Amino acid sequence: MKKIFFVAVVLFVTNVTIQAQSVKFGVKAGLNYANEIGTNIIVNSINYKTEAITSYHAGLVAQIGLFKGVAFQPELLYSTQGATYTKALVEIQNELGYISIPAILKIDLNKTFSLELGPQASFLLSEKNTFDAKDANTFDFAAVGGLGLKITKSLFLQARYVLGLTEMSKDAQTKNSVVQISAGILF
């Protein structure tokens, strides 16, 4: 029994070591279709309807092979998110600039498509709005899910949904909701 366990551990470590040596770095960029969702969206005591905005994200990617068909993909992105608030003829724009750090587990479904799942931590860097937001949170934690498309050995496309799990502000009781479409290259 000890010999079988020892052989299994050696094979496992060898496989992880071989796969871990396949580390690639790259860049990616793309579009965000961002909105703020919540049950009680109130700004300055007035209930507003939100509309999505189109923005962007860009940054660095690393891909670390763990096993055959499974990789860890940490990223460092600058991402703009937010929404437009409307009520009658009043329109308020809210654009938030985040440094986002997704920690994605990438699982190959076949040679072309992959499933991408994981958490994302974001830190607020800038806020452009036409109203005075009070008690804005500078940290956003989110769940990420999506699909990847491998075009060539180096080129890829991604489609993801990012669902904020923390409230953006005590007053607004809203969370980020972002659909991302990306293109990138690994070196």
Q: What is the pLDDT of residues 28-59, one digit of tens each?
A: 999 999 998 875 555 555 666 788 999 999 99
pTM for the whole structure: 0.82
- Which is more confident, 167 or 112? 112
Question: Of 148, 146, 74, whose CA–CA distance to 110 is shortest?
Answer: 148
Instruction: Find the helix or strand (DSSP H, E) in which 159 lies.
Output: strand 155-164
Tokens 């049950």 appear where? 39
Backbone φ, ψ for residue 12 (5° rounding): -65, -50
Could you give the CA distance from residue 165 to residue 146 in angstroms, rounded to a whole number?
17
The two tokens of residue 184 are 């990138």
